[in-house]
Amino acid sequence: MSYNNILVSENDSITTIIINRPKKLNALNRETIQELHDAFAEADSVEDTRVIILTGSGDKAFVAGADISEFANFEVAEGADLSKKGQELLFDFIENLGTPIIATINGFALGGGLELAMACHFRIASDNAKMGLPEVGLGVIPGYGGTQRLPQLVGKGKAMEMIMTAGMISAEDALQNGLVNHVVSQEELLPLAEKIADKILRNSPLAIASAIKAVNANFKDGVNGFDVEIREFGNCFGTDDFEEGTTAFLEKRKANF
Ligand code: COA
């Protein structure tokens, strides 16, 4: 598939998706959101892709937010529609993908950019990264899941402060507050993502997909996460991966998933 705003490459079961609008600090316009949806769906459908790394092009930004120029003239119904469609098409979609996604934050992750990173399964950042939800400074609120996912990651008080002040926090602050898992220099960032991806690749992709479902269930209204865990745990016993994993252990060899 060819895209206007993103670059996609595959190497050793890892698909890397780069948001590529550097002149606009990789801001998410409608076309980019659609292209990201298509690229994630495609990567998830290819059996050989077992980890997805998401990053921004250039050395300045992961994503500096939703493209403000696209919604500056919107009215109430259009605003609600933008939020709903974006959440369905990209943010909720990738959070629930069975293939693990690592957000690799290489600079500004603001507004929709931080919301995109938060919808990924976990995040790592370069030491120059700056993160925030500046929407209230524009007279709106975060609309791509930010009011829900930020408190899940950093706690309610820190999230309230970040949202109300519309300020940016440093990579170090993000690390201390659980928003990102690791901080390294910009040169070390993609190699670190690939190193973590390599560790994921050693494990059962089917079990990982089940684990994603079970962990996410904890954050869904009206869903009992323990029940989902029981179901997914049981399902694992019917997979070839379970047979291979347990057999390999008993035969004292590495599993080949
Ligand atoms: N939407 C649309 N365009 C954006 C954008 C966004 N969210 N963020 C940056 N851009 C564009 C700028 O308009 C500028 O375009 P231009 O060269 O055609 O004028 C270009 O990207 C470079 O940005 P610039 O502001 O000149 O870079 P900077 O280094 O001075 O500042 C930021 C960087 C991130 C602090 C600043 O761009 C910014 O505050 N962006 C908006 C962040 C935001 O509010 N995001 C939430 C949106 S809901």
Q: In this predicted model, what pLDDT tens digit does every residue of 131-188 receive, in sequence order?
A: 999 999 999 999 999 999 999 999 999 999 999 999 999 999 999 999 999 999 999 9
CATH of the domain at 100: 3.90.226.10
Same domain, 77 and 149: yes
Q: What angle do CA 70, 71, 74 make, to 5 degrees?
A: 135
Same domain, 148 and 233: no
- pLDDT above 70 covers what percent of the chain? 100
Same domain, 72 and 112: yes
Query: pLDDT tens for residues 24-51?
Result: 999 999 999 999 999 999 999 999 999 9
Judge whether 60 lies within some domain: yes
User: How much distance in Å is there from the Cα of 101 to the middle of ligand 1?
Assistant: 26
Same domain, 186 and 156: yes
Decide if 166 contacts 108 (C-beta within 8 A). no
Judge whether 38 lies within some domain: yes
Judge whether 255 lies within some domain: no
Judge whether 10 lies within some domain: yes
77 Cβ neighbours under 8 A, 6+ residues apart: none
C-alpha distances (whole Å) from 234 to each of 134, 201, 228, 256 are 43, 22, 10, 21
Same domain, 43 and 157: yes
Same domain, 192 and 227: no
Query: pLDDT tens for residues 222-237?
Result: 999 999 999 999 999 9
Same domain, 99 and 213: no
Same domain, 233 and 135: no
Provide the pLDDT for residue 106.
98
Mutation test residue for ligand 1: of 5, 23, 24, 138, the one with most atoms within 8 Å of CB: 24
Domain span at residue 163 reads: 6-201
Same domain, 168 and 132: yes
Provide the pLDDT for residue 79.
97
Same domain, 11 and 129: yes
Provide the pLDDT for residue 169.
98
Task: Confirm whether 188 is a catalytic residue.
Answer: no
Query: 218-246 in b/e burial notation, b at 16+ Cβ within 10 A?
Result: eeeeeeeeeebbeebeeebeebebeeebe
Judge whether 156 lies within some domain: yes
User: How much distance in Å is there from the Cα of 31 to the middle of ligand 1?
Assistant: 18
Number of domains in the chain: 2
Same domain, 20 and 140: yes
Judge whether 1 lies within some domain: no
Checking DSSP bridges between strand 6-11 and strand 168-170, what pairing results, if any? unpaired
Residues with CB under 6 A from ligand 1: 24-25, 27, 64-69, 108, 110-112, 134-135, 138
Judge whether 256 lies within some domain: no
Containing H/E element for 250? Answer: helix 240-250
Query: pLDDT tens for residues 194-251?
Result: 999 999 999 999 999 999 999 999 999 999 999 999 999 999 999 999 999 999 999 9
Mutation test residue for ligand 1: of 21, 25, 138, the one with most atoms within 8 Å of CB: 25
At residue 1 the predicted structure's pLDDT band, cuts being 50, 70 and 90, is confident
* Residue 67 predicted with pLDDT over 90: yes
Judge whether 51 lies within some domain: yes
Same domain, 114 and 84: yes
Averaged pLDDT, 51-76: 96
